[in-house]
Chain A
C-alpha cells in the first residue's frame, strides 16, 4: 500500500532563511503529488501539485517543489521564509488503486518561523 513519509516533524527557522521540507512516497508508477498547508486556525489549502510534465512545480506564496522520480521524492522549497509561513505542511499522494478518491497524507511538518 502507498505510504508517505515526511522526514521532519518540526522545523524552526528565522525569517529570510531557506526552507526545504522532505517528502518521500513508497509506490512507483504514475503518481499525483500534492503539498497542502494548514495555517493556525484555518483549513487545509492546496499549496501546489504535480500531475505530469516539468518536475519543478511552482505554487502559491513563492513555494516550489521538485519531483524526483528515481528517489520517490517531492520536496518542498522556499528561498526565503516569512513569519506568515508558520503553519503545518502536509505532503500527499493520490492513490489510484481503486478509484481516485483516496489521498494518502504524510504526518505533516510543523514550520515555526521566528521574526
Chain B
C-alpha cells in the first residue's frame, strides 16, 4: 500500500507570496491533518480535514488555510508568506473511524518551505 505522498518536496518562495502544498493520503484514509515542524517550536498542529470539512484547527493565523477534495486529497495554502513560515510542513492521514475510536496517523515525508 502506498504511503502518504506530499508535493512538492522542496519549495523556495519570497516574502509576500503565497504557496499551495498538496497531500495524498493512504488509500482508504478519510482524515488528513497538517503539521508545521520548526527547530524552535517543534511539531505543531495546523488543521484536520475529514469528508471535505475542516474538523479541527490549531492556533495559526488565518493566512494558513486548507481544503480537502472528494477523493480525500488535501491542499494547504499559506498567503502573504513571512520569513517565520519557513518550516517543514507535514501531512498525516488516518482512517478516522469516528466516535472517539482510537486511530493512528501516518505521516508523509513533508514539504520543506523556505521563505526568503
Cross-chain contact A98 with B43 (CB below 8 angstroms):
no
- B110 an interface residue at 8 Å Cβ cutoff? yes
Cross-chain contact B56 with A102 (CB below 8 angstroms):
yes
- A89 an interface residue at 8 Å Cβ cutoff? no
Q: B residues engaging A (CB < 8 A)?
A: 31, 33, 35, 42-45, 47-50, 55-56, 58, 90, 92, 94, 96, 98, 100-110
Interface residues of A in 64-115 (CB under 8 A from B): 90, 92, 94, 96, 98-108
Cross-chain contact B102 with A52 (CB below 8 angstroms):
yes
Q: A residues engaging B (CB < 8 A)?
A: 30, 32, 34, 36, 42-46, 49, 51-52, 90, 92, 94, 96, 98-108
Q: Which residues on the A side are within 8 Å of B109 (C-beta)?
A: 42-43
Using A43-B90, A43-B110 as known contacts, say yes or no to A101 and B42 having CB atoms under 8 A apart.
Answer: no
Cross-chain contact A49 with B104 (CB below 8 angstroms):
yes
Cross-chain contact B55 with A46 (CB below 8 angstroms):
no
Cα distance A43–B106 when bound, in Å? 10
Question: Interface majority SS on B: helix, strand, loop or mixed?
Answer: strand
Cross-chain contact A99 with B50 (CB below 8 angstroms):
yes
Question: What 6 pairs between A and B have smallest CB-CB spacing?
Answer: A101-B48, A51-B102, A105-B43, A44-B107, A43-B109, A99-B55
Q: Which residues on the B side are within 8 Å of A98 (C-beta)?
A: 55-56
Task: With both chains docked as a complex, state the minimum distance between the C-beta of A50 and any C-beta of chain B, in angstroms.
Answer: 9
Cα distance A44–B4 when bound, in Å? 11
Q: Which residues on the A side are within 8 Å of B106 (C-beta)?
A: 46
Residue of B whose beta carbon sits closest to that of A90: B43
Cross-chain contact B31 with A101 (CB below 8 angstroms):
yes
Cα distance A108–B44 when bound, in Å? 12
B56 interface neighbour in A52, A99, A108, Cβ under 8 Å: A99
